[in-house]
Amino acid sequence: MTSTRAQGVAEVLWELKRASMIGAYTTVARRAGFSAGSKGRAMLTCLKTVRRDWPHLEWWRAVPDDGKVERNSDHATLLIEGGYDITDDEADEEKSVVTDFEEQIMNWDEEEEGAGEEAESAAKKA
């Protein structure tokens, strides 16, 4: 049986796919209604479940909060195939980092603020 957390993460991954964005573990977990856990461990568990139960979902859109993934991993390869640039992390020879990470991640706070402003503007016109 799939966990409620994994179902929530699956829904957030679908949002990320529709927006053509990636999401940081902490933000994705919060959006799904839980804490990512120490070093993203709860998110990693959910992503394993997502990969198993919903292989069509783009699990790779969820990335560690620092934007770093294991060098030459499936995660790095799928991010590149998805159109994201990745460079080797000079400080850590085992990691690669998403280029312009801050500009690539989904920020739901901005999206929700924009939706609120649109609703407010429509209400004023009515």
pLDDT at 119: 43
Q: Report the percent of the chain where pLDDT is more than 90.
A: 71
Both tokens assigned to 3: 């966990």
Mean pLDDT of the chain: 87
The yes or no reply on domain 4-125 and CATH 1.10.10.10 is yes
- Per DSSP, the three-state class of 68 is strand
The residue type found at 18 is R
Residue pLDDT, tens place only, 55-91: 999 999 999 999 999 999 999 999 999 999 999 998 8
The ranges assigned to domains in the chain are: 4-125
What's the pTM value of the predicted model, to 2 decimals?
A: 0.82
The residue type found at 88 is D
pLDDT at 62: 97
Q: Report the percent of the chain where pLDDT is more than 70.
A: 85
Residue pLDDT, tens place only, 30-44: 999 999 988 889 999
Q: Are strands 68-70 and 95-98 parallel, antiparallel or unpaired?
A: antiparallel
